[in-house]
Structure 1
Amino acid sequence: MLTFGGPMRTIAVVAVILSLTVIGTDGNKAHNCCTEVSTQNITVPILGYRIQRRDLPCVRAIIFETEEGEICSHWKQDWVFKKVQEIERERKRQRASTASQ
């Protein structure tokens, strides 16, 4: 029977710990994304938005940036589409006025 002692034992223990750490973190990834969405209209001021694509566990969403934080909204809601269009029109207007100065 082969026994480990000294440095070999330390290397073996470190290898086991590292492999368990990699396995554990891969299965429990911390996702900074929307995993569910709301269909309710937002009543607080909206500062901007970004589009999140579906990449499980993240779902497809429009993420509105508000004064109170980020809100995950369902991308198929009519009010969401209209709000995104409104924000884009305002951005274009601001760019046009900045370019003409």
Structure 2
Amino acid sequence: MVNIPRLPTATQAPQRPKRTDKQRKAEQAAAPVSQPTVVAKAVAETIKDPAFIEEVQARVQYDSPQGKNKQALSAYLDVLHQAKREEYSHLLGVDFYV
């Protein structure tokens, strides 16, 4: 290592003494064990109920439009991606028909 005049020299961080296995086990035994809260217990119980899971799955709605809205969205996306399709057809020399 090179020392540059008028700059402080590098200092080493103090090293912690190594702990033995006995000390580690004593620290783990002294650490308080966390208990689940009342809310966590209630959530765990409701998740175990298969009827609740089926009810939730029945109420799931996906983000896909229905009927005419689906056709309109499809037409919009076709126009949106038209330039990209033309670029691919010129690049590959293949015509895409969708």
Fold shared, TM-score > 0.5 on shorter chain: no
Query: TM-score, length-normalised on structure 1?
Result: 0.29
Q: Which has the higher strand share?
A: 1
Bigger Rg, structure 1 or 2:
2
Q: Which has the higher helix share?
A: 2
Higher RCO structure (Cα 8 Å, ≥6 apart)? 1
